[in-house]
Amino acid sequence: MAMKLKEVVPLGRSFDEYRLMFNLSKSDLEKRIIGVGDGPASFNAEMNEMGRPVTSIDPIYFFSAKDIAQKFNKVFDNIIEQVKNTPGDWTWTYHMSPDDLREHRSEALTKFTQDFEQGKKDGRYLRGELPNLNFPDHTFDIALCSHFLFLYSDHYDYDFHKSAVYEMLRVSKEVRIFPILDLMLNRSPHLEPLIDQLRADGYRVVIKKVPYEIQRGGNEMMWIFNKSEGKMLPI
Ligand SMILES: C[S@@+](CC[C@H](N)C(=O)[O-])C[C@H]1O[C@@H](n2cnc3c(N)ncnc32)[C@H](O)[C@@H]1O
């Protein structure tokens, strides 16, 4: 047993974790980026500090920073408890232990909450949700989605995943999704049918190994290129 969650939980990762999970290069970081389902990650706050504003979308941005922190605190102890009870299911190379993980998630939450109200005013945090993104076609170069699609495969069916991915491909030249495992550490059952569908529709799809792992075996991301982007496959 890896992890049982009744609903999607608002846990956030840092800039450094995003960089590794999504294999983001220096030049990627200069592109127009949208983080879909960014929740209380500190990626947006840290990118903004570096002078590279990005757009984050999440339904949870309806709430205040204080409410989001409360939601995080409500579920967090139980998550760390489940992690401690399933030691064989986790890889301690980036985070060194469950307590180290606790510290990293709390740090990300703090950076997010400190940035959130200003970021909302700047239009960097927008309330929105898949499978509909309120942007014109091709607004972004890179759409990122971590720890939502595929991870919650029991909660969202194939049709949701398909609509969500095609919507991200509508607004962005390329899409990167991490991880491709579900909460029970199995490859998502939606992955292969979705790859087949995307390839049949002419998209380039790559499953790329990345230098980040916490779920045991969860060190791959799905990388999808819009038809016009296929020529410059960076692998
Ligand atoms: C586990 S958190 C991951 C946050 C961030 N991407 C990260 O990896 O640090 C999952 C996020 O997905 C968001 N979410 C739930 N339903 C969504 C939807 N339909 N569209 C986009 N995001 C959604 C949740 O509010 C939550 O913040």
Q: Model's pTM, two decimal places?
A: 0.95
Residue 51 has pLDDT above 50, yes or no: yes
d(CA 22, CA 4): 25
CATH topology of domain 32-232: Rossmann fold (3.40.50)
Distance from Cα 102 to the centre of ligand 1, integer Å: 18
Distance from Cα 164 to the centre of ligand 1, integer Å: 13
Enter the tokens of residue 178: 């991490």
Antiparallel, parallel or unpaired: β 172-178 and 125-127 = unpaired
* DSSP-based three-state secondary structure for 223: strand
pLDDT at residue 6, as a whole number: 79
CB-defined site of ligand 1, < 6 Å: 8-13, 36-39, 41, 58-60, 129-130, 146-148
Best residue among 6, 36, 58, 83 to mutate for probing ligand 1, ranked by most atoms within 8 Å of CB: 58
Residue burial 59-69, b: 16+ Cβ < 10 Å; e: rest:
ebbebebeebb
Question: For a substitution probing ligand 1, which of 24, 101, 148 has the most ligand atoms within 8 Å of its CB?
Answer: 148
| Mean residue pLDDT across the chain | 94
Instruction: Tell the burial category of 18 from Cβ atoms under 10 Å away from its Cβ (0-12, 13-18, 19+).
Output: buried
- Where is pLDDT greater, at 17 or 233? 17
For residue 206, pLDDT over 90 is answered with yes
Sign of CA dihedral 62, 64, 66, 67: negative
48, pLDDT greater than 90 = yes
pLDDT digits (tens, 9 = 90+) for 131-142: 999 999 999 999
Whether 4 has a pLDDT exceeding 90, the answer reads no
Contact 223, 174 (CB under 8 A): yes
| pLDDT mean over 202-217 | 97
Lowest mean pLDDT among 8-12, 25-29, 51-55: 8-12
Nearby residues of 77 by Cβ (< 8 Å), 6 or more positions away:
none
Query: What are the extents of the domains in the chain?
Result: 32-232
- The owner of tokens 């060190």 is 219
**% the chain with pLDDT above 70:** 97
Structure tokens given for 62: 């309806």
What pLDDT score does 230 carry?
Answer: 53
How much of the chain exceeds pLDDT 90, in percent? Answer: 91
| Atom 25 in ligand 1: residue holding the nearest Cα | 60
CA gap 138, 186 in Å, rounded: 32
Q: Return the residue whose CA atom lies nearest to atom 14 of ligand 1.
A: 37
How far from 14 is each of 40, 48, 62, 97, 187, CA to CA, in Å? 9, 13, 21, 17, 24
